[in-house]
């Protein structure tokens, strides 16, 4: 499979980027050659202009010759069969028989609670109520800038079933560093296997979560009920038959 412009397999791709060079005809040509070296064909620099002293901006159209086999790709989704809040509460009452204890926080120095709040706060997101509203979930939203140590201590002291770690800031890989630190500390403290560990954030994918040793990862646009449903099902699976 290749990108589709107006004809199957034409490989049409748009690119835009800045080069640290004063604009000139030579700068346009530099942009064209750069894209050609990336492996693109039929490179066309449709816009090139100066945006500041020593910087130029380019818009480029080109065709890529490379292709991928989509059937060979595995990217498992964690979004289980959709259930409503009431259905999830009923499921927990019936299958688990006690309240599920959930804690969430923005870890490290990240102060952006928009993601964790969307999932946990009563109000929820896009009309889908947050976990605080669920009758069968006992929810703790620890807020922003919670250290990994603090979160692990809280997990042990409050006997948490499911832990949600959120990271919005991703500069210089700080999100992955923090997620890794959390999972390592949980393992060192012998807590990892006792809990359902979930990470979330606009750049998180379930594939990344699996690589980091999390049970699931939820990215942009996730609804609270999707997280609640995953937690409930995973809890039920873990119970002795």
Partner 1 sequence: MEVRIEPGVVEKARSLAASIVLPISEFIAAHSTVSVERAVLRLLGVDGVANDEIPMPNAALDALTAEQRAGGVARWIARGIAETAETPATVAERLARGTLTAEELLDVPEAAARAALTPHVQAGLLRVAERRAERERLLTRLPQSPAPLLYVIVASGNIYEDRTAAVAAAESGAQVIAVIRSTGQSLLDFVPYGATTEGYGGTYATQENFRIMRAALDATSERLGRYVMLTNYASGLCMPEIATMAALERLDMLLNDSMYGILFRDINMKRTFIDQHFSRMLNAYAGIIINTGEDNYLTTADAVEQAPAVLASQFINEEFAHRAGLPDEQIGLGDAYEIDPKLEDGFLFSVAQAQLARQLFPKAPLKYMPPTKHMTGDIFKGHLIDAMFNLTSVMTKQNIHLCGMLTEAIHTPLLGDRALSLENARYIMNTARHLGDEVAWKPGGIVERRAQAVLADCVALLERVADLGLMNAIEAQTFADVSRAPDGGRGFEGVFARADDYWNPFEEALLPEGRTAAKAAAR
Residues that bind partner 1 (CB under 8 A): 16-18, 51-53, 55, 57, 109-114, 117-118, 121-123, 143-145, 169-172, 174, 202, 220-221
CB of 115: closest distance to partner 1 in angstroms? 10
Q: Which is nearer to partner 1, 52 or 67 (CB)?
A: 52
β-sheet bridge partners, residue 59: 16, 47
Chain-centre distance of CA 235, in angstroms? Answer: 22
CB of 218: closest distance to partner 1 in angstroms? 15
Helices (H) and strands (E) in the chain, counts: 7, 8
Radius of gyration, CA atoms only, the chain: 23
- Please indicate whether residue 123 is annotated as part of the active site: yes
User: Which of these, 162, 136, 174, lies nearest to 237 by C-alpha position?
Assistant: 162
User: Strand, helix or coil at 125?
Assistant: strand
Q: Which is nearer to partner 1, 126 or 239 (CB)?
A: 126
Provide the sign of the torsion angle of the four alpha carbons 139, 141, 146, 150, taken in this order.
negative
CB of 180: closest distance to partner 1 in angstroms? 15
The single residue of 79, 99, 123, 135 carrying the catalytic annotation is 123
Q: Which is nearer to partner 1, 26 or 114 (CB)?
A: 114
**Catalytic machinery residues:** 123
């Amino acid at each position: 499979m290749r990108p589709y412009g107006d004809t199957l397999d034409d490989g049409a791709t748009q690119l835009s980027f800045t080069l640290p060079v004063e604009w000139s005809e030579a700068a346009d040509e530099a942009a064209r050659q750069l894209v050609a070296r990336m492996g693109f064909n039929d490179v066309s620099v449709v816009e090139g202009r100066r945006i500041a002293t020593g910087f130029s901006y380019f818009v480029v159209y080109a065709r890529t010759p490379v292709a991928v086999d989509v059937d060979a790709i595995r990217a498992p989704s964690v979004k289980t069969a959709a259930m409503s809040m009431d259905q999830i509460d009923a499921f927990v009452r019936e299958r688990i028989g006690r309240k599920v204890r959930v804690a969430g926080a923005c870890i490290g120095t990240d102060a952006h609670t928009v993601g964790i709040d969307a999932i946990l706060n009563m109000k929820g997101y896009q009309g889908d109520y947050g976990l605080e509203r669920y009758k069968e979930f006992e929810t703790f939203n620890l807020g922003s800038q919670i250290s990994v140590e603090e979160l692990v201590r809280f997990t042990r002291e409050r006997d948490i079933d499911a832990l949600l770690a959120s990271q919005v800031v991703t500069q210089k890989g700080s999100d992955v560093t923090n997620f890794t630190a959390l999972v390592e500390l949980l393992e060192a403290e012998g807590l990892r296997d006792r809990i359902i560990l979930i990470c979330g954030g606009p750049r998180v994918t379930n594939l990344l979560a699996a690589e980091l040793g999390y049970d699931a990862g939820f990215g942009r646009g996730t609804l609270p009920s999707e997280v609640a449903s995953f937690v409930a099902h995973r809890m039920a699976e873990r119970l002795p038959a």
